Copies of this chain bind each other. A is one copy, B any other.
Amino acid sequence: MFQLDPVLRRDSILVGSLSLCELRLINDAQFPWFILVPRRNNITEIYQLLDEDRQQLMAESCLLAETLHDAFTATKLNVAALGNQVSQLHLHHVVRYDTDACWPGPIWGKFAAVPYTDKKLAEILQKVQVLLSDDLQLPGDDVDLYY
């Protein structure tokens, strides 16, 4: 069974499941910031994925990036597999604006997270869940099995 890293679980909220990946929202209201986490254990680098998983990750990343770019009218998407702090493979997708607090630098490690209010959290989750509804399986009762 897939095991999600406890730090990723603590710092993010499940948006839903794509074919390969969990889509999760980082709980930091300063940036629309999502991660894709392939449901594969013991993988730390993209190249360790099987070829079909690599292609699926590319497809899911592009779907998410284009959706976010349009929905949030981004200046730029930042897409990155870093993993220096949490080695379990996760692919960041960060909506950047040329007016945001870190622009044009990277966001990682810069500011402490500012958690969403309940209202803002519900809004952004619903927005993305609606936009990706053709491909996204929403969290259900079975989530308790591993969350």
Contacts and interface: CB of A to CB of B under 8 A. Distances in A.
Interface of A: 44-47, 54-55, 57-59, 61-63, 65-66, 69, 75-85, 87, 96, 103-106, 108-109
B104 A84 contact: yes
A77 B112 CA distance: 24
28 contacts: A44-B76, A45-B66, A45-B77, A46-B58, A46-B62, A47-B65, A47-B69, A54-B59, A55-B55, A55-B58, A57-B58, A58-B58, A75-B84, A76-B87, A77-B81, A78-B80, A78-B81, A78-B82, A78-B84, A79-B80, A80-B80, A82-B106, A84-B105, A84-B106, A105-B108, A105-B109, A106-B106, A106-B109
Given A76-B84, A78-B82, A79-B80, 9 more contacts: A47-B66, A54-B62, A55-B55, A76-B82, A76-B83, A76-B87, A78-B81, A84-B104, A105-B108
Most buried by B among A44, A57, A80: A80
Contacts of A75: 84
A45 B66 CA distance: 9
A65 B46 CA distance: 8
